[in-house]
A = this chain, B = another copy of it.
């Protein structure tokens, strides 16, 4: 068993967990996820599992960027308002169809924005710089350079160009790009399934009668919905008693049908010992990290059982959510990234899921050096300045949960932050 007081930093703990997962998989990630194909309309937020290479030039032909006339640039050279170039109109190019006429010298065709340039044309003139002499002749009052007001074939994307890399979290912009390239479905990484277990002899489900001394299960609900927002699929397994056999049964069930197992609680030392014992017995390696230099979240347990990551989170609901955000999200991103094609996309994934705002601290915050403090804050706007007010209090169970908007992280080397200093507030992505 690992010394509880031999705590690791957040970074060390993450690295230790990933190393253990790689070792369990004999050099590559153990438990990498399946790949699947989803309809384009359901793909937002999913993780791309292949590099997307354009199968064609975009645009596939030269297009006009204006409403006006397609011309040969040389036919307009030297033209002015007083001495316009006189061109005969040979066609009205419709939207959505090919031009039917090739331009010869001295000719022009009417073209709408997005219209396809006819052969013989290399520029477009805006309708505002022309005058219609009669139905068949247009006066061009300004010279056009070759390529002016035209998007060339392949100028946006060349055939064979990589447009999106594996591991990308798909946005509506990306889906638009995929539609433009003719994709109707898209290969993605399957979402990881995470089993959720609450523990504690005193815990009862919210719908049940609460006897004196008992409390309702909070963590199943807060952790499951936080997991959902990280892109994982929560699998609720219920409440284990603080006994070895009760917890082991549920953890084994989780390992058999999910990609990871999250256990939260109980609040007593005895309950924590039970979780450690269960994880150890389901190893090797079992427990990998026991205790991290972070507050709240210090008593967190990270492990690998039967090749899958397991997490023992604190029983306190806010602490459990902080620990989930720091470690479970990280590990699920790593698994997803490994499935998509390697470690290099891991950073993009993590960065995409951390959002910070800048604010001024509303009061002094002290912190023990050697420990990373996550302090829940409420954001308040005062005279146009965003103030981060720490939400504190020993009793802050529900009240801390519902009154805060994000957290200020006091770095490990800091002894605290003073009132009025500029701080970055991390917003929960969930």
Q: Which residues of A contact B (CB under 8 A)?
A: 40-41, 43-45, 58-61, 65, 67, 93-99, 112-116, 151-152, 155-157, 163-164, 171-184, 200-203, 206-207, 210-226, 228-229, 234, 236, 242, 266-270, 315, 317-318, 321, 355-358, 394-399, 401-402, 404, 427-428, 430
Contact = CB atoms under 8 A, between A and B. Distances in A.
A260 B236 CA distance: 36
A401 B221 contact: no
Contacts of A200: 95-96, 114
Nearest to A399: B156
A317 B229 CA distance: 27
B113 A202 contact: no
User: How many subunits of this chain does the assembly comprise?
Assistant: 2
Given A200-B96, A355-B427, A221 B61 contact: no
A5 to B, nearest CB: 14
A222 B174 CA distance: 8
Contacts of A112: 267-268, 270
A225 B430 contact: no
Contacts of A401: 173-174, 176-177
Given A173-B401, A182-B207, 14 more contacts: A44-B430, A94-B201, A96-B211, A114-B200, A114-B215, A114-B315, A116-B212, A172-B223, A172-B226, A172-B321, A172-B428, A179-B217, A179-B222, A355-B427
Among A41, A225, A234, the most chain B Cβ lie within 10 Å of the Cβ of A225
Nearest to A376: B173
Given A398-B156, A430-B44, A96 B182 contact: no
